[in-house]
Amino acid sequence: MKSGWRGVVWGLALSVSALQSAVAQADTSQSFGPLFTKADGLLAGGIVIGTFFAQRLDNHYASRLQDSSTQANKKLQALATFVRTTAAPGALIIGTTMYAVGRITKQARMAELGVHGTEALLVGELTAGVIKGFAGRQRPSVEPRNSHSYGFLRGFGGGDSYRSFPSGHTVAAFAAASAVTSQTADWWPNSRYLIGAAMYGGAALTGVSRMYNNRHWASDVIVGAGIGTFAGLKVVRFNRSHSGNKLDKWLLSGSISPTGDGGHALRWSLMPGVTIGEKRSSR
């Protein structure tokens, strides 16, 4: 493995370690505390500083990762493909599947994790999509060593080649990682760092894979990680503080119950006793 690839991996590993510690600090307020805290400001400041320095190395790392021997490595190609597809569309598929299975099998925690992870993913991707349109940054595959090519609003009409900033796959990966880590920390506090290391580590590999595939600059990945992390943290924190919000009450209120004729009925309701949908099935 070339030194360029090792440098990117180690740099991302250190960044993820710092990010995980910052996230743990940002997520230690009480369940009914404010949505945004001072720790969030520190986390945001760290991301801004990291992006500033990453931009100075964008061209360097883009060039190193496109080295012919690095690109010819079959194992790296396979790993990049795996983590990329796991992030998108994998994260959405996994989240919705967990929600569906949790509802059907009456495993409330699985359903909650699935729905909140999916919410975080959608919030993060929507935010990133708007920024992509306004920033209009050119992808490294269009013109190498031209990382400073931005165009206001160019991302809306210039096509996918000008929607590099930030990395959407990285947003998806970190949104899922932060939502899962934050949510499970409520249930198994002692496992926070173990789960976090696995989730954030995988998310970091997703970011590196986007650079390896010449689709994003290093700073795209850093900002994508920040947006995704904030999306996951805020969705979970909001739902902690607003456990009775209408969206959760609707999505998590369905039930499957037996009927008198030996079949089963699937019911959803916005409020107790008011059924808005019912589907029956017989054995």
pLDDT band at 42 (very low <50, low <70, confident <90, very high): confident
Q: 84 in helix, strand or coil?
A: helix
Quick: pLDDT tens for 189-202. 888 889 988 999 99
For the residues of 151-209, what is the DSSP string, one character each?
A: -TTHHHHS-GGG--SS-HHHHHHHHHHHHHHHHHHHH-GGGHHHHHHHHHHHHHHHHHH
Give how far the C-alpha of residue 44 lies from the chain's centroid of Cα atoms, to the nearest Å.
16
* Angle in degrees, CA 102, 203, 177, rounded to 5: 35
d(CA 276, CA 267): 7
Residue 32 amino acid letter: F
Give residues with Cβ within 8 angstroms of 138, minimum separation 6. 146, 149, 150, 151, 161, 162, 164
Selected residue with higher pLDDT from 275 and 166: 166
Cα→Cα distances 191→29, 57, 125, 183, 257, Å: 18, 35, 28, 11, 34
Across all residues in the chain, what is the average pLDDT? 82
Q: What is the pLDDT of residue 70?
A: 87
Q: What is the pLDDT of residue 29?
A: 46
Give residues with Cβ within 8 angstroms of 130, minimum separation 6. none
Which region, left, alpha or beta, applies to residue 214 given φ > 0 means left and ψ of -120 to 50 means alpha? left
Would you say residue 234 has pLDDT above 80?
yes
The burial class, CB within 10 Å (0-12 / 13-18 / 19+), for 111 is buried
pLDDT band at 272 (very low <50, low <70, confident <90, very high): very low
Please report where in the chains the tokens 């012919």 appear, as a residue: 68
Q: What is the pLDDT of residue 239?
A: 86
Q: What is the pLDDT of residue 24?
A: 56
Task: Name the pTM for this structure.
Answer: 0.80
